[in-house]
């Protein structure tokens, strides 16, 4: 019997449901100087003193560039249906806009073919934060021309890999690119300029909107989408000011990218509150951004409690359950977010493109991870609840396949279903990986 066939919907996933795991290029590949790869903003940022914890860099990371075959063998051991990875723009077009680096593209070609040979569907993300540094030197995402360069790069990748990709996502978490990178300065390129951040957010959406028809033309029939990081913004109290603050936070975080992509424009209240003039928006931009897509990917980790800045701080009596990064564990928030997205996307297929948690490693045995396993079990149950409520969820990717470079936090936070010893590059499947394998082996009884 195939996965889910003819089984009760309240305990099993629907037929064809995809169980996968996700990674991203700069977080795992290493080999930053090999085969003509250009510099990315993360190379520059990580090598700038004080930017990344422990002065960690992605220079070697998981050395996946050289070990991808062994990593695919591990995916096979887990029985994954799908693997979500990202393509490094500076590997494929080292100058950002211009000549294609054949050796860089060849790597992803081999990766795609090997995955398919192992029966694992390649879900490709075109941009997971490693902008070519040369484009940043010309203004980065705050410069509208970066959107055109992205569409040209998307065309190159789609022409080469599109026929074998199970799905292509344009951007991963554009909120993070714009706001962590250009407003809060805690991610590359490390700028602290709110106007540049809002301009970047618009140009990221333009990049998405321009890339969609380019990918569609190059790879007809390949599903195209975007991946957004979303989380419930919960008012800290029933006070009207907290309700208002939570509503604005919801608009600025959860609706800012989703609504324009779905043809609903920028959320008016969030926009007013941000003080953003929208001067970057040219006639027809919103039409470009609303190019029809085939799926939306949702990255879910946590929810946030929002306190109005006009009210005194609240001191909660009970401490919430948190992960090693201090992120509150809130499985119900995943059901809520999936239902919120479906309220805007209707029957469009949805995927959980990332979900997972960082916990301190067991010093005696890195493969023992009861907290991560429990976190995933509860979130899978929450996703099944959303399915029961009618959300068209088609797949679920754990973050992450393996421990990796967690951006400004370096290598300390561990998210992997597979533990990595960064001294030896030895990989070991964790208990959470075995749990994930049991789901992929389905039919799935998640609770």
- Which are the catalytic amino acids? 173, 354
Q: Pick one of 56, 173, 259, 336: the residue that binds ligand IFM (CB under 6 A).
A: 173
43 or 354: whose CB is closer to ligand IFM?
Answer: 354
C-beta of 373: minimal distance to ligand IFM in Å? 18
197 or 236: whose CB is closer to ligand IFM?
Answer: 197
Name the closest residue to ligand IFM (Cβ).
24
Nearest-angstrom CA–CA distance, 207 and 135: 14
**Cis before 400? omega within 30:** yes
354 or 371: whose CB is closer to ligand IFM?
Answer: 354
155 or 354: whose CB is closer to ligand IFM?
Answer: 354
C-beta of 404: minimal distance to ligand IFM in Å? 7
* 24 contacts ligand IFM (rule: CB under 6 A): yes
* 285 contacts ligand IFM (rule: CB under 6 A): no
Q: Please state, in angstroms and as integers, the Cα–Cα distance from residue 120 to each residue in 20, 72, 107, 432, following that order.
A: 9, 9, 17, 19
Q: Pick one of 406, 417, 433, 443: the residue that binds ligand IFM (CB under 6 A).
A: 406
DSSP 8-state secondary structure symbol assigned to residue 142: G
* 299 contacts ligand IFM (rule: CB under 6 A): yes
C-beta of 396: minimal distance to ligand IFM in Å? 15
Nearest-angstrom CA–CA distance, 279 and 390: 39
Closest by CA to 322, choosing from 359, 270, 267, is 359
Question: For residue 312, with 0-12 CB atoms within 10 Å meaning exposed, 13-18 middle and 19 or more buried, which class applies?
Answer: exposed
* 399 contacts ligand IFM (rule: CB under 6 A): yes
Measure the N-to-C terminal CA separation of the chain; round to a whole number of Å.
21
Coil, helix or strand at residue 343: helix
Orientation angle between helical segments 370-388 and 431-441, nearest 10 degrees: 30
* 330 contacts ligand IFM (rule: CB under 6 A): no
C-beta of 443: minimal distance to ligand IFM in Å? 29
Task: Give Cα 423 to chain centroid, integer Å.
Answer: 27
Question: For residue 115, with 0-12 CB atoms within 10 Å meaning exposed, 13-18 middle and 19 or more buried, which class applies?
Answer: buried
19 or 129: whose CB is closer to ligand IFM?
Answer: 129
355 or 373: whose CB is closer to ligand IFM?
Answer: 355
71 or 406: whose CB is closer to ligand IFM?
Answer: 406
Size of the site for ligand IFM (CB under 6 A): 7
C-beta of 294: minimal distance to ligand IFM in Å? 22
* 354 contacts ligand IFM (rule: CB under 6 A): yes
C-beta of 176: minimal distance to ligand IFM in Å? 7
Based on its alpha-carbon atoms, the radius of gyration of the chain, rounded to whole angstroms, reads 21
* 397 contacts ligand IFM (rule: CB under 6 A): no
111 and 122 in contact (C-beta within 8 Å)? Answer: yes
Spell 18-46 as b/e; 16+ CB within 10 A means b.
Answer: bbbbbbbbbbbbbbbeeeebbbbbbbbbb
C-beta of 283: minimal distance to ligand IFM in Å? 34
| Cross-strand partners of 225 | 169, 295
Q: Which positions touch ligand IFM (CB under 6 A)? A: 24, 27, 173, 299, 354, 399, 406
């Amino acid at each position: 019997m195939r996965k889910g066939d003819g089984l009760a919907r309240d305990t099993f996933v629907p037929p064809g449901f995809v169980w996968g795991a996700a990674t991203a290029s700069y977080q795992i590949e290493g080999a930053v100087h090999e085969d003509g790869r250009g510099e990315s903003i993360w190379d520059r940022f990580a090598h700038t003193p004080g930017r990344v914890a422990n002065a960690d860099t992605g220079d070697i990371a998981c050395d996946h560039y050289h070990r991808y075959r062994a990593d695919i063998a591990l995916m096979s051991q887990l029985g994954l249906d799908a693997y979500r990875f990202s393509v490094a723009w500076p590997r494929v077009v080292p100058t950002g806009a211009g000549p294609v680096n054949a050796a860089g593209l060849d790597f992803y070609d081999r990766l795609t073919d090997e995955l398919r040979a192992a029966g694992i569907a390649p879900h490709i993300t075109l941009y997971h934060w490693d902008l070519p540094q040369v484009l940043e030197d010309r203004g980065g995402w705050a410069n509208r021309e970066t959107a055109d360069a992205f569409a040209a790069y998307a065309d190159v990748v789609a022409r080469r890999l599109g026929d074998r990709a199970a799905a292509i996502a344009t951007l991963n978490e554009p909120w993070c690119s714009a706001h962590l990178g250009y407003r809060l300065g805690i991610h590359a390129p490390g700028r602290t300029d709110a106007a540049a951040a809002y301009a970047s957010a618009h140009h990221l959406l333009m990049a998405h909107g321009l890339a969609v028809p380019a990918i569609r033309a190059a790879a007809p029939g390949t599903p195209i989408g975007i991946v957004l990081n979303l989380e419930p913004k919960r008012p800290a109290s029933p006070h009207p000011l907290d309700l208002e603050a939570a509503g604005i936070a919801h608009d600025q975080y959860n609706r800012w990218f989703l609504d324009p992509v779905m043809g609903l424009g920028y959320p008016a209240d969030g926009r007013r509150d941000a003080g953003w003039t929208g001067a970057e928006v040219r006639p027809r931009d919103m039409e470009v951004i609303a190019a029809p897509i085939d799926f939306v990917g949702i990255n879910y980790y946590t929810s946030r409690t929002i306190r109005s800045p006009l009210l005194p701080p609240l001191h909660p009596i009970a401490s919430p359950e948190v992960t090693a990064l201090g992120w509150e564990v809130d499985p119900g928030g995943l059901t809520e977010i999936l239902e919120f997205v479906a309220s805007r996307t209707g029957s469009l297929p949805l995927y959980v493109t990332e979900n997972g948690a960082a916990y301190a490693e067991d010093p005696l045995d890195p493969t023992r991870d009861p907290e991560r396993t429990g976190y995933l079990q509860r979130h899978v149950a929450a996703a099944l609840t959303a399915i029961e409520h009618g959300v068209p969820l088609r797949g679920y990717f754990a973050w992450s396949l393996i421990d990796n470079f967690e951006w400004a936090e370096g290598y300390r936070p561990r998210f992997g279903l597979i533990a990595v010893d960064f001294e030896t590059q030895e990989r070991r499947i964790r208990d959470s990986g075995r749990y994930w394998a049991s789901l992929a082996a389905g039919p799935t009884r998640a609770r």
